[in-house]
Amino acid sequence: MSKPPRATIVFYDEETQQLKLCTVFRREVQAVIDREMARSGGMTIPPDAPEDSSLPIGDEDARKLGAMAILMQAGVHGELRKRLRITTAEPVKWTTPQPPTE
């Protein structure tokens, strides 16, 4: 019998001021996954891999995935942002982009 599909969640715990990671049954969060996939399309890892690809996932892909997860949390938690010592290809702009004017 196969194990039920799982999802891994990365979140920032404001009480302990720590990044946390947990794995849950996908059926418990599937509605949220479906909504976000419909909204944004999600991101494939590696980012340039085509759908249904079996390309290897290497060290650099793992580093990028971890950095993306941390940066996404830092985008909404200023206290975490101040602690980051992550090198990015371009400087991160933490301000909210303004909508284009007509």
pLDDT score recorded for residue 10: 96
| 91 in a structural domain | no
| 97 in a structural domain | no
Q: What domain range is 38 assigned to?
A: 6-81
| 90 in a structural domain | no
| 56 in a structural domain | yes
pLDDT score recorded for residue 74: 95
Burial (Cβ within 10 Å: 0-12, 13-18, ≥19) of residue 74: buried
pLDDT score recorded for residue 72: 93
Whether the ω angle into residue 100 lies within 30 degrees of 0, i.e. cis, is: no
Task: List, for the chain, all residue ranges whose pLDDT scores fall below the cut of 50.
Answer: none
| 99 in a structural domain | no
| 100 in a structural domain | no
Predicted TM-score (pTM) of the model is 0.82
| 30 in a structural domain | yes
Start-to-end CA span in the chain (Å): 58
In angstroms, the CA 28 to CA 65 distance is: 23
Number of domains into which the chain is organized: 1
| 86 in a structural domain | no
Residue range 41-66, pLDDT digits in tens: 888 888 778 888 888 899 999 999 99
User: Maximum Cα–Cα distance for the chain, whole Å?
Assistant: 58
What are the backbone angles phi and psi of residue 67, rounded to the nearest 5°?
Answer: -65, -40
